[in-house]
Structure 1
Amino acid sequence: MLLYYNKSFLGLLVERRGSVFYRPGSLFVGVFLSALGGALQYWRDRREAEDEWAQWAPDIFHHYGFQAVGAGVTFAIVFRTQLAWNRYWEAVTQLHFMYSKWADAFSQFQAFAEVTKKAANGKGDTVKADRIRQKQKRIKVNYALLSAFAADRLTAGDNQRMEEVSVSRARTRATMRVDKEQKRFSMPEMIERQDHDRTKTDDGLYVVFGVPSDDQVRLLARSFDTVATIMYWIIWDLADAMKDIDIAPPIQSRMYQELSNGMLGFNNCLKIADVPFPLPFAQLLGMLLVAFSAFIPVYVIVFTRSPIAGPILCFLLFESLWCLNEVAKELENPFGHDSNDITLSDFHLNFVDSLEDISMAEQQVLLHMPIVLPEESLPNCSEEVPSEDRVISGSRFGTVLQRGADGDILLCVLGFGMLYNHAKLLAQASGKQCEGTANLSYALRTPPEDARDDGDAGVCVHFAAARAIKEGEELLIDYSER
């Protein structure tokens, strides 16, 4: 799929890549018809000079017949182009739908698994946590394989295969199926993500987290529908993990629903990739277009009577209708390797990147923190996640108070930390017991250099007060355990 800047008028006119106007075949026919129109105009001029061959020069007394044919051809071409655009846009819509639903299903399972794994680690059940971790890894790998095989299947649809076969005659779907089954199973070209060079573009290369094993390849070679086979692997792993996931089964069922919706989008794309534009319509339109084009020089020359404007109009009239029909043929088959086809490898790479984004370890480190505050409300503090053995609930140490933006408070603990998960925080204005009390939320951070006491500072606790704190105001911190 080509991206272009549609506000650059001249650049758009001269762009040759993906253009149907600059194709040698259409340009040759257009120039030929222009030359033929010039020859006809020459004959008409010779007839006026009473040349012996001038009696064969064409003459038309009324333009109704040509206008009637032209109106029918124009309507048929515009109608075909509209249907082709609908097919193209439907393909893009269903492709986005497919990948969004599969990404939703993966993110839901990843969240369920991480919450369960966190609870298992808290209880010391390392066996269960490791079992969940293995499921996460295998499902992630299979999701990438599912996308790769789905994209390859759409790229090698029946419409695209008809463009690649050596014969141009029409063939039945049964014949195509037999030919496909007689051929040896071929894997899509894949590369592992860590070995992929993102600076290179290769439409036929699919990035995965792990290539299929020999056993998987043998099983896929025996499968008539490889996408359904890999989908079954994912569903089996999800069902096997249900007993370990600490999420209610009705909520877990949402994952299966999103997977099913994604497969619906895939099959809607497959409908477009395998079902061509009807042969009778395409054949009839081709005949009408050829007949109409053959009479273009005669009609234009007779009614323009100009050796300059006539050939130019012949060229433009032919190119406008012929190229519009070529545009329709381009849009009818949106999946493939042509310049104007949808680049499925890009969709696949974006999907794999989203899987990696959701499952990267930094996500879990961030989400396991008690409270996450906006970055701009943390002046002078760099992020750090302290380990639990460094945090002592209820400890009292000397403090340094700093007032941040919007009344936020920065409390730097000069010691080995506190307030990890078990503190109830209250701030009271000095000398007041009730008035001015405000609950404080907090997050652990590394203290700034100027808040450290001989390098013995542990962590920095950032407070966000429910009311504005005056600069220099003394606070009393109560961090009693819940």
Structure 2
Amino acid sequence: MIIYENWLWGLPLLTRGYGSAFPRAFLFAAISALETTLIFLYAPDSVKMALKNPTIFQIYGFVVGFALVFRSSLSYQRFWEARSMLQTIIGRLSYFTIETVAADLGSMDHATATPEQRRAAHRFVRELCHEVSLLFCFMMKGLRKDFNLATVYPHDMATSKPPFLDADSNAKGWKRWEVFAVRVFAISDLFNIHNPQQEEAIPVIGGLRPEERARFSDLVPTPAMKGKAGSINGTRAYAVFALINQLYIRRIREGGLQTLAPLVSRLGGIAEEGMAAFGHCTKLATTQFPFPWAQVVMAFLAILGSLLPFVVTSFVDQLWMGVTLSFIVVLTYWSLNEVATEMEDPFGFDPNDLPLARYAFDFNNGILSAVHQLRPDYFDELDAEAEALEAKSHAAGAQAAAAAAPPPPLMPDALVKSPPGAAAGAGAGVGVGGLANSNDGGGGGQATPSYPAGSPASASSAVRAEAGAAASANGITFSAASGSGKPPSRGLHAHGSGGSASGLDGGGSGSRAARRGAVLPVNT
């Protein structure tokens, strides 16, 4: 979204190029002006004076203008509906979180509560704030069709830099010189270049935990969707909402939320209203402007730009005036069309799209500020205790994931064998390729599959084994990386000349392969 000021009667807006519709319409206006010039200079008089009465063209221009105004009106309606529904989501989820925390903590007698009851209340508040923040994050990422979990970072009110609200403060220099969008007019457009992550990364209270990254990874389909070419990419928000409901019900069973039943029921209805508003936003994000109307408007504009030079040369005697009029008229019509096109889809990364990352940051700040007013004093001590337990749990989870895979069975003698060092190296080679389906590296570093001798797959496996063996012998450390923008795996370390692979970060199948001296299968 472009932030601007209306000082000096708004005249400085004319110098702003980034995000403007005029540069994208400039090409078509220039083509019409060039056509007008050619007709003036080279066309015979019979062509120049072909049109005796402009009435028919005036009617056509009115029809095109009406179509453009109608499309612009509907596009702005979509844009404003999207912004309104986003604010509804923010309001409903914020109200749900604050009221739920107030109802839970307000129903406790903190003076007589046992340590376990205090820990349960503290755990519920932390989990609720985290999961509601994660829900909003996945809502925003789903609306802009961004399924990359690497662009999620922990929210911190004290140290986190807020995402830019103004897209002009965000753009990289090369974006300002894109084809059909020469956007550098004002001096300020040249120097407001910042980290592009500011417009992509979305903060989450507590960050994205390793187990959540594995659960919501776009590489791991849900069991119900397995074999049906589906994944949880587009359903993450609904999955988190289910977890919030589970947390809510579990807290009631633990003895929390001991307040009036109508209030508890009403809180669930407020959360459902937020999900309903998200459904409205999804409707806008997944439903384009009707194709027949968009096609007709484009055809009208193309015909207008082609015929206008003949009309101009029939009634204007001066070359400079004819070229100027052709350029201005076509620029006006095409600019209106570009404005409508820009507003049709308000979600995404375009300069005039809504700043979803900033909305998420402000949403988190609102929740944390309100919940902070409701916290009892003993929550400060429990915060440190909970953070230490989470760090310990994450470390234990990483080690458990590395050792979770059972030892693979030995292959028959008919299959290809390889030396122990090469087998471990093969595991390292696969780890480099990012084979592990967990974004945190669990299961990585397994050995490559075995194939019958002489097959092309066997040759490919042998090449990878040799490459891995060489890396293992030299003690090279690898870390996985993906060219698709997915977060890298935690990495696989190949150590020593003995050819054994470390199982700390990437799994231990390589070392087992080294002991057995066989190329082992792996699930890809």
TM-score with structure 1 setting the length: 0.64
1:230 aligns with 2:240: yes
User: Counterpart amino acid of 2:23?
Assistant: Y
Q: 1:43 deviation in Å? A: 4.8
Q: 1:71 deviation in Å? A: 1.3
Equivalent-residue separation in structure 2 for 1:17 and 1:278 (angstroms):
28
Contact 1:148 1:188 in 2 (8 A): no
**Equivalent residue for 1:327?**
339
**Equivalent residue for 1:136?**
125
Q: 2:93 aligns with which of 83, 96, 102?
A: 102
**Equivalent residue for 2:211?**
215
- Which one has a bigger Cα radius of gyration? 1
**Equivalent residue for 1:5?**
5
Equivalent-residue separation in structure 1 for 2:118 and 2:258 (angstroms):
12
Q: 1:246 deviation in Å? A: 2.4
1:307 aligns with 2:319: yes
Equivalent-residue separation in structure 1 for 2:85 and 2:204 (angstroms):
22
Relative to structure 1, the CA distance from residue 56 to residue 245 in structure 2 (aligned partners, 3 Å threshold; closer, same or farther) is: closer
The structure that is helix-richer by fraction is: 2
Of 53-62 and 147-156, the range deviating more from structure 2: 53-62
Q: 1:80 aligns with which of 67, 71, 87?
A: 71
Relative to structure 1, the CA distance from residue 251 to residue 362 in structure 2 (aligned partners, 3 Å threshold; closer, same or farther) is: closer
Percent identity over paired residues: 22
Q: 1:56 deviation in Å? A: 4.5
Q: 1:112 deviation in Å? A: 1.1
Alignment of 1:413-428 (within 5 A): none
**Equivalent residue for 2:116?**
127
**Equivalent residue for 2:138?**
149
Equivalent-residue separation in structure 2 for 1:357 and 1:152 (angstroms):
24
1:198 aligns with 2:161: yes
Q: Deviations over 1:313-360 (max 9, x none)?
A: 111100111110010000001100000000100111111101110122
Q: Which runs of 5+ in 1 are unaligned?
A: 45-52, 158-184, 366-482
Equivalent-residue separation in structure 1 for 2:355 and 2:279 (angstroms):
18
Alignment of 1:336-375 (within 5 A): 336-360=348-372, 364=376
Equivalent-residue separation in structure 2 for 1:256 and 1:210 (angstroms):
23
User: Counterpart amino acid of 1:76?
Assistant: A
**Equivalent residue for 1:281?**
293
Contact 1:190 1:207 in 2 (8 A): yes
Report how many residues are paired: 326
User: Counterpart amino acid of 2:19?
Assistant: G
Contact 1:97 1:262 in 2 (8 A): yes
**Equivalent residue for 1:69?**
60
Q: 1:308 deviation in Å? A: 2.5
1:29 aligns with 2:28: yes
User: Counterpart amino acid of 1:314?
Assistant: S
Q: Which runs of 5+ in 2 are unaligned?
A: 165-197, 223-231, 378-524
**Please, what is the CA RMSD of the aligned residues?**
2.1
TM-score with structure 2 setting the length: 0.59
The structure that is strand-richer by fraction is: 1
Q: 1:288 deviation in Å? A: 1.3
Q: Secondary structure at the match of 2:203?
A: strand
Equivalent-residue separation in structure 2 for 1:21 and 1:94 (angstroms):
29
Q: 1:147 deviation in Å? A: 1.0
Equivalent-residue separation in structure 2 for 1:146 and 1:228 (angstroms):
8
**Equivalent residue for 1:39?**
38
Relative to structure 1, the CA distance from residue 63 to residue 56 in structure 2 (aligned partners, 3 Å threshold; closer, same or farther) is: closer
Q: Deviations over 1:210-255 (max 9, x none)?
A: 2333332333233531101100111111111123222112111121
Equivalent-residue separation in structure 2 for 1:211 and 1:333 (angstroms):
28
Q: Secondary structure at the match of 2:153?
A: strand
Q: 1:200 deviation in Å? A: 6.2
